[in-house]
Amino acid sequence: MGHRVEPGLYRLGNPTSECLVFASANYTLSFDALRSALAGNDVWILVLDTKGINVWCAAGKGTFGTDELVSRIETTGLASIVTGRKIIVPQLGAPGVSWPGVLRRSVFNVEYGPVRASDLPAYLKEHTATLEMRRVRFPLWDRIILIPVELVQALPMTIISVLAAGFLLNWIIAAQLLTAILAGLALFPALLPVLPTKDFSTKGLILGGIVMLPFIAAAGPAGVAGTSLNWGMYLISSLLIFPTVTAYLALNFTGCTPFTSRSGVRKEIFSYIRILAVMIIAGLIIAGAGWLVQAGLV
């Protein structure tokens, strides 16, 4: 049960029946964040059974929700343990918890605390949340820490495709493929807000195009050693094939952000998947045609 906490009612410090009640998910990191933010206070913590999942994800799924909160209040007998009728719920529990619903079905009034547990001390002191406490941002650090997991997950596919490109074609193409992949997985998250255009796919295309420029410049009009393509063909096929890879990886980053919407992502998929497919196929055809011409076969 390494990452889960047993659901139920917990004491932090020595709370009396007049002390505050806070709700938490039963994911250890959620529970620990709450406990350390409230350290030194005497409070009650009601841990909901969210199957070991953090507050926001569980709220989206419904497990950190009205039903579970009401049920946990009942099974712990919270109403007879505390005299207060307020329970402080993390703001990111709101997609799953209905305060009118909880009020109707239990005697408790949900009060939404700040997004981050670390803001709780200030919140409790001022009895109010600032606007910033109620916002989820996606700053550079939060984007960058996702990169290692992205890289590890893509590792098998990356190794296979880059090695295949190297052995079957040549190592310059393998290097281009590796660059396109790394641009999509590592550079894109870091540069997300500064890349032009609104859609992840187009941002990815632009970034993918930019990282191809050194290869194109290094090739020069004399042709690229080992690719047997003249420079024009190389330029066109490089800009059609590899940025598509970066763009596809960029599109898949949408699930890692705390601000993309289902309808927005749906629109983006339908707008760009076909374009990306056409681009990569056209690029492969042009590259193939160029190779045939150079090889004197056509």
Partner 1 sequence: MCSSVCPQGVFVPGKEAAILAAPASCMECGACALNCPVQAIEVQSGEGCAHAMISAALRGKDMDTAECSCGGPEGSCCGDR
Question: Which residue ranges make up the site for partner 1 (CB under 8 A)?
Answer: 2-4, 27, 29, 51-54, 56-61, 91-92, 94-101, 112, 115, 129, 131, 134-136, 145-146, 148-150, 153, 200, 251-266, 268-269, 273
Place of tokens 């419904």: 62
Beta strands in 162-263 (DSSP E): none
In whole angstroms, the minimum distance from the beta carbon of 227 to partner 1 comes to 31
In whole angstroms, the minimum distance from the beta carbon of 28 to partner 1 comes to 8
In whole angstroms, the minimum distance from the beta carbon of 79 to partner 1 comes to 22
Q: What's the CA gap between 203 and 249, in Å, rounded?
A: 11
Q: Which is nearer to partner 1, 52 or 223 (CB)?
A: 52
In whole angstroms, the minimum distance from the beta carbon of 293 to partner 1 comes to 36
Burial class (CB in 10 A: 0-12, 13-18, 19+), 16: exposed
Q: With CA atoms as reference, report the closest residue to 251 among 196, 180, 179, 201.
A: 201
**3-class state of residue 261 by DSSP:** coil
Q: Which is nearer to partner 1, 174 or 250 (CB)?
A: 250
Q: Which two tokens stand for residue 176?
A: 């281009």
Q: What's the CA gap between 236 and 15, in Å, rounded?
A: 70
Q: Which is nearer to partner 1, 29 or 81 (CB)?
A: 29
Q: Which is nearer to partner 1, 40 or 198 (CB)?
A: 198
In whole angstroms, the minimum distance from the beta carbon of 256 to partner 1 comes to 3
In whole angstroms, the minimum distance from the beta carbon of 190 to partner 1 comes to 14
Q: Which is nearer to partner 1, 52 or 166 (CB)?
A: 52
In whole angstroms, the minimum distance from the beta carbon of 95 to partner 1 comes to 4
**Alpha-helical segments (H) within 129-199:** 140-144, 147-168, 171-182, 188-191
Query: Would you list the DSSP string of 90-118?
Result: -GGGTTT--HHHHHHHSSPEEEE--SSGG
Q: Which is nearer to partner 1, 1 or 295 (CB)?
A: 1
Q: Which is nearer to partner 1, 15 or 96 (CB)?
A: 96
Q: Which is nearer to partner 1, 119 or 268 (CB)?
A: 268
Q: What's the CA gap between 236 and 224, in Å, rounded?
A: 13
Q: Is the dihedral of CA 57, 60, 63, 67 positive or negative?
A: positive
In whole angstroms, the minimum distance from the beta carbon of 296 to partner 1 comes to 41
Q: What's the CA gap between 247 and 244, in Å, rounded?
A: 5
Q: What's the CA gap between 253 and 200, in Å, rounded?
A: 8
